[in-house]
Amino acid sequence: PVPIKINLLKFLRCISIKLILMGTGLGMVACSPLTVLDPPPIGPRNVIKPKALKKGDTIGLIAPASPFTASVLTKALDQIAAHGFEIKLGKNLQNQFGYLAGRDEERIGDIHSMFEDEEVDAIWCIRGGYGTSRILPYLDYDLIAKHPKMLIGYSDITALIQAIYLKTGLIGFHGPVGSSTMTAYTDQYFQLVAMNGFEPVSIELNNNHSGSGTNNIYRVITPGEVTGELVGGNLCLLAALAGTEFQMDFTDKLVFLEDVGEKPYRIDRMLTQLLHSSNLAKAKGIILGEFADCEAKEGEFSLTLKDTLDFNLGGLEIPVCYGFSFGHISDLCTLPVGIMATFNTEKKRLDLLENAVV
């Protein structure tokens, strides 16, 4: 007989999740020892484009990361309803387990339920925070692939969008969370990409610069025009996924990165980790969003954010820019992960070369 290698910690953790979920009727879809120990291989696959959103559709609202206040929930419900959508709340949406919006098995259960529910047309994450990367090995990617739907969010939701895309080919939407403020710019590109995105879309830089601080000015680090598959998200999450089965292959990709509240030395550490552990240097180009609140305090021994980014990315000999309109800011565009796109640093424009929805 061939010996079988088992990760005991993963096995026991998955068994505990499965036993709890069996009481909710979701035990068989939540995870199994086979799913965790022998995950679906990551490799070339056909892209799956979700249905476009339209008024009257039902949004499944979930919290796969951190908990939230009552005012955040009210804001999300009001904004989603204002777009003409119906709303279905995740069973465990308002749960709390310390800094998590419920235990892992509860958040997994809501994700699986929303994908499987035929009444739900799209899934919107109410906020980011922390915790999404914890549940990635235990998701049922076969179930998700059989019930493809639009998944919307950013920040910590980066991990969920990337894992699902790598495992299934389903296009994910790096855009406002349910509780984001829907400014005119944010709403314009959300509707163009997620609701009317049957044709290619050109995303222009927002010149109002609604971000905070002095680091919200667009600038070119290395000029050029580049075409590639659009991937990326929050820098902290991408660095955290390095070395795991959910790490992105950046070769020939058009990579977008953003972060918030990280001092320059931490930005340096995360970029260094990606450059050392992944093939980020083989990307076609890099678009940096607005890194809100990422400067060192006055008097600290530190490089500036500008120097940190230039120092790490300026020598890659690929087009790189800073300050495009996405990140933890008021005016942010919606970026479909997995779509072919062209970016021109001088024109300050991202052209999506294909429809993101069907």
φ/ψ (deg, to 5) at 96: -145, 135
Distance between CA atoms of 207 and 210, rounded to whole angstroms? 9
Instruction: Supply 207's token pair.
Output: 């010149």
Catalytic residue (choose from 179, 180, 328, 330) = 328
The one-letter amino acid code at 117 reads: D
Question: What are the distances in angstroms from CA 353 to CA 184, 198, 223?
Answer: 24, 11, 20
Neighbours of 180 (CB within 10 A): 24
Question: What are the distances in angstroms from CA 328 to CA 10, 179, 315, 335?
Answer: 33, 12, 27, 14
Distance between CA atoms of 290 and 239, rounded to whole angstroms? 18
- Spatial neighbors of 176 by CB under 8 A, at least 6 apart, are 152, 154, 182, 186, 190, 332, 334
Question: What are the distances in angstroms from CA 67 to CA 63, 95, 145?
Answer: 7, 7, 27
Catalytic residue (choose from 258, 262, 290, 295) = 258
Q: Quick check: is 112 catalytic?
A: no
Q: Quick check: is 71 catalytic?
A: no
Q: Are 285 and 343 in contact (CB under 8 A)?
A: yes
Q: Quick check: is 155 catalytic?
A: yes
> Each residue of 89-101: b (16+ CB within 10 Å) or e?
bbbbbebeeeebb
Catalytic residue (choose from 66, 113, 155, 180) = 155
Q: Are 176 and 197 in contact (CB under 8 A)?
A: no
Please list the active-site residues: 155, 258, 328
